[in-house]
Structure 1
Amino acid sequence: MTEKEKMLAGMVYEAVLDEDLKEDRLKCKDLCFAANQLPPSKIKEQSEIFVSLFAKAGEGFYITTPFWCDYGYNIEIGKNFYSNHNCVILDCAKVTFGDNVFVGPNCCFATAEHPLDETERNRGLETARPIQVGNSVWFGAGVTVLPGVTIGDNVVIGAGSIVTKDIPSNVVAVGNPARVIRSLENSGLYRIVPLKEVYAKDICGWKYEGEYSVYSYSSWEMAIRNHWEIADAKVRGQEYRGVLNKAGELTGYFKMHQDENGEVEIGLGMRPEECGQGKGADFVKTITDYVKKQYPESLVYLEVRLFNQRAVKCYEKAGYQVVCEHDSIKPWGTFRYKRMELKKED
């Protein structure tokens, strides 16, 4: 096999001294140099160079120079691809971008890996693993994506992140190494707003049926008379939020309270008519994403009445797990609860 064939097959290959690969790299660098030297107004001429350089270039792409890559023939970009200044793609293996991918300035996509063994490394040996990026992905400034990474659709990678492992679809990931910090699956389904008094009055009129009637408030007047938190404007403003649907209607609410240990407990309720219709997991995920944004370093947990297996299953779908059972004293009595904590990201 030639060194190029080994490189494309993901095998160990001689990268530095092989004449064929050296010739390919120099040809590529000359084309990058030519594009980089053109005035910014020469968009058509720059695009023609990149079309000749890449294996595939979708319609409507725009690359802000300077831009550099190793070979070019291992790069595929989809429709409406955009990269800002100083994008570097080390395409010793295939690098594929879907449609509507936006790359911030100073980003690097590196497929090459060098041996840990100094003798092999000093001989110029290396391997390469492909990088694959889905549709509708936005890379913030200064992101580095390392060999073998696959990134799903509808993903945001925060500025300065180092992506060392696969990132699933519909998430925001940040950090070194990049970790998922929130979901985008529910983006647009619900909107979090302050819990105004008019919403609180509405909630106090919600009536749940059967065994779930324990979650019903008696009335707004009773809430005021008994000094319940939902009727206290100060507490409501600090810890309570309303959840609106796409139509702007109140579909639920939640309370977030940080205890003396720095842990954040969530208490929540969904409009009775909305319960039992398969909407709960998305509802809880939306609330959880909001709370984690407010308290990014805190453990988040829920407490669920022992009988309420429907809620337990819903919370499990939303990323929580049961950690224990215990008695808990509430204003309305002492009851047995399951404590469910939000799972930590790997």
Structure 2
Amino acid sequence: MLYEILAKIQRKSQISRLTKHPNVSFKGIKLGISNHFVLYHNLKKVTIGDGVSFRNYVHILVQQNASLEIGNGFFMNNFCSINCLDSISIGNDTLFGENVKLYDHNHAYEPHPHFKLHHSEFTTAPIKIGSNCWLGSNVTVLKGVTIGDNCIIGAGCIIYKDIPPNTTVINHQELIFKEH
């Protein structure tokens, strides 16, 4: 009983966070438990369509000057995250399996003459996911990717290049090594 009361309070807190932000708009939204929205005050916009459902333990980060657009009928399963520093858009009636991750950025680095990684500098490029797509469990989508409408992305895939509409992507892992 206490667990249910705490879950209800947490959902109300997250809805309040969305409602109070001046650049956030949403319609019918359903939240599971322990979802977390990190919304910078000076983000461009967050738009969440009607009939959107976020299951449990979802994490959404939208930083300054970034925009996130989610269409109607979107479903996000447990443990998914969206990390938006630039722009991410997701079409209508798209479904995410468990643990799907979207990153529209990478850490900046200098490969030569000595490798140096920048912890707080990033390179960014938009992510666009079409309507009526299904991203299976443990899919990761990287910056600069467009996934067309009516696509299925198989479980465990890392999507690092564009996927044309009406395509099914089957996971085939190859380890490729590249020296700096």
TM bucket normalised to smaller: 0.5 to 0.7
TM-score where L is the length of structure 2: 0.68
| Cα distance per residue 1:203-254 (max 9 Å; x no partner) | xxxxxxxxxxxxxxxxxxxxxxxxxxxxxxxxxxxxxxxxxxxxxxxxxxxx
Q: Which has the higher contact order (CA 8 A, sep 6+)?
A: 2
Cα shift at 1:48:
5.3
Could you tell me which amino acid in structure 2 is paired with residue 162 of structure 1?
A: I
Q: Residues 127-206 of structure 1: matches in 2 within 5 Å? A: 127-176=123-172
Q: Residues 1-346 of structure 1: matches in 2 within 5 Å? A: 39=7, 46-47=14-15, 49-50=17-18, 52=24, 53=39, 55-71=46-62, 74-114=67-107, 115-117=109-111, 118-119=115-116, 121-122=117-118, 124-176=120-172
Cα shift at 1:136:
0.3
TM-score where L is the length of structure 1: 0.37
Cα shift at 1:42:
7.3
- SS of the equivalent of 1:39 reads helix
Q: Aligned partners of 1:106 and 1:146: how far apart in 2? A: 14
Answer 1 or 2: which has greater strand percent: 2
- Calculate percent identity across the aligned residue pairs: 31
Could you tell me which amino acid in structure 2 is paired with residue 113 of structure 1?
A: N
Cα shift at 1:78:
0.3
- SS of the equivalent of 2:169 reads strand
Answer 1 or 2: which has greater helix percent: 1
Q: Aligned partners of 2:140 and 2:121: how far apart in 1? A: 22
Could you tell me which amino acid in structure 1 is paired with residue 50 of structure 2?
A: E
- Is the 1:164–1:177 contact (alpha carbons within 8 Å) kept by the matching residues of 2? no
Structure 2 unaligned runs (5+)? Answer: 25-38, 40-44, 175-180
- Is the 1:38–1:46 contact (alpha carbons within 8 Å) kept by the matching residues of 2? no
RMSD (Å) for aligned C-alpha atoms: 2.8
Structure 1 unaligned runs (5+)? Answer: 1-36, 179-346
- SS of the equivalent of 2:62 reads coil
| Cα distance per residue 1:92-117 (max 9 Å; x no partner) | 11010010011111110011122253
Larger radius of gyration between Structure 1 and Structure 2:
1
